[in-house]
Amino acid sequence: MSYTAKTAGLVPSRFDVVSGIIEAMAASPGANPAESVHPGIKEQLSRAPERDFDILVIGTGPAGYYAAIRAAQLGARTAAVEKNSVGGTCLNVGCIPTKTLLSSVAVLDHVKNGSEFGVDVGEYQVNIPTVMKRKEQIVRQLVGGVEGLFRKNRIKLVRGHGRITDPHTVTVDSESDVETLTADRIIIATGSVPALLPIDGLDIGDKVWTSNEALDFKAIPKSMLIIGAGAIGLEFGYTFARLGTDTLVVEMMPQILPAADTETANALQKALEAAGMKFMTSATVSRADNAKGGKKVYIKSGDKEEAKTVATVLVAVGRRAVLDGIGLDEVGVKHDERKVLVNEHMQTNIPNIYAVGDCVGEPMLAHVGWFEGVVAVEHAMGRDARMDYTAFPVCVYTTPECASVGLTEEQAREKHRQVRTGKFTFSHNGKAMGMGEVAGFIKFVIDEKYGAVLGVHMVGPHTTDLIAEAVLA
């Protein structure tokens, strides 16, 4: 069975998808390990009965928990090792809490704009403790859901730091014990952490944040400088701008969302500027000094350097795979500075060790990690599963939203002789007009000779939902 990114694209893009997906998995055929085992997997399960487990997963983020649940569904004796909270970055300090904050901001926007729709709202205020309480409640609910599925599927959850000590052994260090586990197959799913910058004056603290700190603020900053205009920087920038923070985003590349279709990125920037955000592209931060009430940040753009004083700096330059301290070099698993090296089966150079999710590098998306986890398990248990990254959606949850799949117009013109584009603007769409959200468009990039859809790029309302249909093209 082959799993492709087109399959991954079918995953809905709203934050409550995690709950729906894991419940569906629990109800799917084969979810009970006691049920009959797939014939093609019986040989794999009988290889090493003297070992503790058939499949052992290190890390329980989206890639890890999906892999563990799928392995259990197929009848494998399964364990998962986790040193922090189950659910990884996505559930705890990534997708879910970020989208929850954005949902609060969306309500605020509706209140502010109510008079345009004939709904006059009196005095209102943003209650940050309540916003945070709601965020934490949703995170706890989803983490508990994954833990419940582990119990339902008889997956042993081992708390502690896992290190591979030989190709079939993982040592788990916890606060009170050291446990040694053996397994026929090991899947590395250690995830990622926020990337940092080696810049003087930007040590993480009260005045300098990563995305982790930005999710747990106690008061709305008066001003903020964000380094990096990728999805993380834009989503946090929009959140704080709408809450009233004077927000400036600095990006070293010529456009925001550097990997995106240029026309699409430019349209999103224009809309975000209208929402109160400011941008400096082709610019870099060289250093920062302490200043009264914040940081004095020096920004280089061309031959010029200017200084801006802000209350808070947010470093949003992407994420870094967790590769240290898990035994890669000791066992001989090949990797470079950014990722574990794997083949199309998510298999490392050591045949019984696999790696999935953020630890294998870009695109570092939860829905891609889910299917990398499935591919690894399916292949580890004897099926012909391969990962295909040809068509997976990438989404940004600002207002307007931005979503893309496939080749950008620039990439398409480099690879194909004849390329045609088609575009429909939301300003001519009746529903968008009724919603009062007319900024943006849907753009198709097409091979003119054969009519194949090469890419679809969207800016506008609910485009993170609409993109799923484009993936099918």
Once rounded to an integer, what is the mean pLDDT over residues 454-462?
A: 98
pLDDT at residue 43 in the model: 59
Query: Is pLDDT of 13 > 70?
Result: no
Query: Is pLDDT of 268 > 60?
Result: yes
Q: Note if the pTM is more than 0.95.
A: no
Q: How confident is the model at residue 422 (pLDDT cuts 50, 70, 90)?
A: very high
Query: Is pLDDT of 9 > 50?
Result: no
For CATH 3.50.50.60, the residue range(s) in the chain are 3-91+134-194+320-388, 208-317
For CATH 3.30.390.30, the residue range(s) in the chain are 400-471
**In the CATH scheme, what is the code of domain 400-471?**
3.30.390.30
pLDDT at residue 17 in the model: 43
pLDDT at residue 4 in the model: 40
Once rounded to an integer, what is the mean pLDDT over residues 155-159?
A: 98
Query: Is pLDDT of 94 > 90?
Result: yes
With tokens 């309500």, the residue in question is 107
3-91+134-194+320-388 adopts what CATH topology? FAD/NAD(P)-binding domain (3.50.50)
String of b and e for 49-78 (b: at least 16 CB within 10 Å)? eebbbbbbbbbbbbbbbbbbbbbbbbbbbb
Q: List, for residues 367-416, the tens digit of each pLDDT value.
A: 999 999 999 999 999 999 999 999 999 999 999 999 999 999 999 999 99
Q: Which residues pair with 159 in a beta bridge?
A: 82
pLDDT at residue 174 in the model: 93
pLDDT at residue 50 in the model: 84
Look over the chain and give the mean of its residue pLDDT values, rounded to a whole number.
Answer: 92
Q: How confident is the model at residue 24 (pLDDT cuts 50, 70, 90)?
A: low
Cβ neighbours, 10 Å, residue 249: 28
Question: 8 or 146: whose pLDDT is higher?
Answer: 146
208-317 adopts what CATH topology? FAD/NAD(P)-binding domain (3.50.50)
Q: What angle do CA 270, 276, 278 make, to 5 degrees?
A: 65
pLDDT at residue 7 in the model: 35
Q: List, for residues 330-343, the tens digit of each pLDDT value.
A: 999 999 999 999 99
Query: Is pLDDT of 307 > 50?
Result: yes
Question: 213 or 37: whose pLDDT is higher?
Answer: 213
pLDDT at residue 473 in the model: 85
Once rounded to an integer, what is the mean pLDDT over residues 289-307?
A: 96
Query: Is pLDDT of 11 > 80?
Result: no
Once rounded to an integer, what is the mean pLDDT over residues 126-137?
A: 98
Percent of the chain with pLDDT over 90: 88
